[in-house]
Amino acid sequence: MKIKYIGLLAVTLVTVFGSSCKKDNSIQVIDIPVDAASISRIKYFNFASGAPSVNFYANGTKVSGILSATGSESTTGTAYGGVYPASNYSVINPGTYKINGIIPSTAAANANVTISELNPVLANGKYYSLYTCGIYSSTTKTAESFVLEDVLPPSTSSNTVSYVRFVNTIPNGTAAMNLVIKNSVTAVETVVATNIGYKAGSAFVAVPVGSYELYVRYPSSSTNIISRNGTTNGVVGFLGGRAFTVGARGDMTVTSATAANRPLLDNTANQ
């Protein structure tokens, strides 16, 4: 897997940064030159409950790109519940950054408003995930945010093992949270993570490849407080040799089964 990933990265660098002098209808240009020998990798999650779409900027330069039919900045940005990039990671030079989530300049409301700001130090050769989190304030136009280092598991070609971790971006649970996965064929349950507090994530753990239902419970209870199964948002597949992050987002006070800001479980591939 590692060899394939490096090859993909090289192609991506040539495609994106080799064409950074022009704009067309298919490429969102991101103008940070990257030294291929010195690279950090990062994913951006817009998980603040009720947040507007945002673009992410590092030291004032746009680092998340959404396609635009005209070549101008897209009004779409990374919507609430969205992840950029959708798979693998974007690359950036190691260093200290001011990273902001900013409502697109062409948005119909609150254009150019910064809703979040962080100042992480990104180290050479390491992987990171940045989350907007908590509950977006429509009054102050702000959300919380945090960065996790993603300590990915060793590369493996195994078709029988997948790796899963849990990240908690919900601020108003009554306790830290556990993630339990249930094989949808055998009904065997596996506890993936325990006592994961707000703005925290577990380590990646190995689980058998398969199709799973996902459940979040408080450590002292067997009651499911967030579910993702055959009747609620669908089961997920954990593939061999891959790493996945299950993220909890939303507002625990929302009881509607259809509200966008209800508690939900997201499944994103890290590699």
pLDDT for 72:
65
Predicted local distance difference test score (pLDDT) of residue 146: 98
Q: In this structure, are 210 and 80 located in the same domain?
A: no
Q: Are residues 132 and 175 in the same domain?
A: no
In three-state secondary structure terms, 41 is strand
**Residue 154 in domain:** no
- CATH code, 206: 2.60.40
- Nearest-angstrom CA–CA distance, 35 and 192: 37
Domain coverage including residue 61: 2-149
Q: Summarize pLDDT for 129-150 with one digit per residue, the tens.
A: 999 999 999 999 999 999 999 9
Number of structural domains found in the chain: 2
Same domain? 127 vs 172:
no
- pTM across the whole model: 0.85
C-alpha distances (whole Å) from 231 to each of 63, 114, 177, 204, 226 are: 37, 37, 22, 27, 13
pLDDT in tens, 152-210: 998 766 789 999 999 999 999 999 999 999 999 999 999 999 999 999 999 999 999 99
- So what's the pLDDT on residue 134? 98
What is the pLDDT at residue 74?
Answer: 66
Series of mean pLDDT values for 10-residue runs along the chain (271 residues):
38 37 37 71 98 97 75 80 94 97 94 98 98 98 98 82 97 98 96 98 96 97 96 91 96 96 97 88
Per-residue tokens: 95: 């260093």
pLDDT at 2: 38
